[in-house]
Amino acid sequence: MVLLDSQLAEYNAQGHLTINDFYSSEIVAKITDDINQWAAETRASLSPEDERWYLEQDVPDGVSLFRKLDNPIYNRPFLRKLLVTPRLLAIAEQLIGTNLSVFFSQVFMKPAKHGGPKPVHQDNFYFGPADEDRVLTVWVAIDDATTENGCLYYGDGSHKTGVHQHVAPAGEPFNLMVPADIAVNFPMTAAPVNAGGLSLHHGSTFHQSSENTSELPRRALAMHFIPQDMPLVSPGLDYDLSVVVNF
């Protein structure tokens, strides 16, 4: 067992938990280098449609910045080895059980000055799992994530309210959000975390991040864990299950 009883109690009550100093600064530097290399390799091959999905859209002419990269745990075995350690798996198993997979993972680049916001949402609306309590997002801070550069905010206890119907603004299918009249019932609490730390959340916890207009990037890598035998019965987006990685 890795998490203390008090940490388990906090996760169960609030729907999220912060763990600072999980990965060393040496590991974080290797993660950062690999993501930068991957972004550089990927940039040239993006189709115009990919560009709308993966690049920040609200940027001055001539500026090209990644918003996100998908499936690092599948696409980058080097990152998988650094990130999914026995200690991390032990934590995930404590929270959602054994025989797990990462069925989807994402790098959120949130670049300095031009990082767009992520509206209030529940991962479980995107994923549509058969068992809502057995979805865990492990969000790894690659830079210090602060209220200035766009750290996560959570609606404490919102994971106990079920999964709500989401809406998406025109032209932004990736920006599914909890309708404002529901989100307003859950004031958002900032969850700053230092580079190398973790922010864990239950799949139904309301969360969001603000835009990044600061001078510093706020990169993070999210791994979405589920039990290998649990189907996604009503996903809000299409997920490519050929990239699932079992542990």
Ligand X SMILES: O=C(O)CCC(=O)C(=O)O
Q: Is 158 in the site for ligand X (CB under 6 A)?
A: no
Q: Which of 135/230 has CB closer to ligand X? A: 135
Q: Which of 48/147 has CB closer to ligand X? A: 147
Report the distance separating Cα 163 and Cα 170, nearest Å.
Answer: 22
Q: Is 139 in the site for ligand X (CB under 6 A)?
A: yes
Count, residues near ligand X per rule CB under 6 A: 10
Tokens standing for 82?
A: 């650094």
Report the distance separating Cα 179 and Cα 215, nearest Å.
Answer: 31
Q: Which of 38/105 has CB closer to ligand X? A: 105
CB of 228 to ligand X, least distance (A): 20
**Contact residue for ligand X among 198, 222, 226, 230 (CB under 6 A):** 222
Beta bridge partners of 155: 188
Site string for ligand X, 105-124 (x = CB under 6 A): ---x-x-------x----x-
**Contact residue for ligand X among 137, 149, 204, 205 (CB under 6 A):** 137
Q: Which of 4/225 has CB closer to ligand X? A: 225
Q: Which of 45/133 has CB closer to ligand X? A: 133
**Contact residue for ligand X among 101, 204, 209, 212 (CB under 6 A):** 209
Q: Is 88 in the site for ligand X (CB under 6 A)?
A: no
Write the DSSP string, 47-114. Answer: -HHHHHHHB-SS--TT---BSEEE-HHHH-HHHHHHHS-HHHHHHHHHHH-SSEEEEEEEEE---TTT
Q: Which of 38/149 has CB closer to ligand X? A: 149
Q: Is 220 in the site for ligand X (CB under 6 A)?
A: yes
182: three-class secondary structure by DSSP: helix
Find tokens 């230092």 and name the residue: 194
Residues whose CB falls within 8 Å of the CB of residue 16, separated by 6 or more in sequence, listed in order: 154, 156, 191, 199, 200, 201, 202, 205, 207
Pairing assessment for the beta strands 207-209 and 152-155 based on DSSP bridges: antiparallel
Q: Which of 26/158 has CB closer to ligand X? A: 158
Q: Is 93 in the site for ligand X (CB under 6 A)?
A: no
Sign of CA dihedral 171, 175, 181, 182: positive
Q: Which residues bind ligand X (CB under 6 A)?
A: 108, 110, 118, 123, 137, 139, 207, 209, 220, 222
